Amino acid sequence: GIGRFVNALDPILWPQLKWTAIELSKVSASLLAAIRPDISVVNTPFEGWVNENKHLFGTYDLVVSNPPYGARGRYASIDREKGYAETRAYAYQIRRGIDLLRPNGIGVFVIPSGFVSGTGPSLRALRERVLLRSHFMGAFRLPSETDDGKSLFPGALLVTDVVFLR
């Protein structure tokens, strides 16, 4: 995106933070790079960045992600590692985000509410894969609309969770 997460932490107050932003949209990546020249912005599919940076697995203290909620589509074939053939983009990004964390690192993911409360077999299997590798610290359910009925996510009434994993 254009930096809502990174802009939440003022670089003057948090000079020790070094950000790497992976953004698929060329427009969003260009805007973020212009707004925040102090961070590393990479315009590529997350799968491509993962393939080129496996040497960084286990090195990040914090991973913050608001992944796409739909299918991975054509990008699914980029990472061919067995065991990561997730069809949903957010599921792939959670699992690979965990790979990037060092011990006691924290992953923060803004994802569909089904991850936490879904009862279907595919969601249960996803939770199992994630929880075998990380500790569920907690989650916050975000409302889909304001008190006056306006969508918080323009064009969709989505119920999302902010999930914290260690």
Q: Poorest-confidence range of 5-9, 92-96, 151-155? A: 151-155
What is the enclosing helix (H) or strand (E) of 139?
A: strand 136-142
Token duo for residue 147: 């008190």
Sorting pLDDT into bands at 50, 70 and 90, what band is 149?
A: confident
Distance CA 141, CA 150 (A): 17
Q: Mean per-residue pLDDT for 131-137?
A: 96
Whole-structure pTM value: 0.90
Distance CA 97, CA 74 (A): 20
Which residue, 53, 61, 163, 165, is CA-closest to 103? 61
Question: 18-62 pLDDT, tens per residue?
Answer: 999 999 999 999 999 999 999 999 999 999 999 999 999 999 999
Question: 81-127 pLDDT, tens per residue?
Answer: 989 999 999 999 999 999 999 999 999 999 999 999 999 999 999 99
Judge contact between 104 and 123, C-beta under 8 A.
no
DSSP track, 3-64: SHHHHTS-TTT-TT---EEEES-HHHHHHHHHH-TTSEEEES-HHHHHHH-GGGTT-EEEEE
pLDDT of residue 153: 67
Distance CA 149, CA 21 (A): 33
pLDDT of residue 156: 66
pLDDT of residue 10: 83
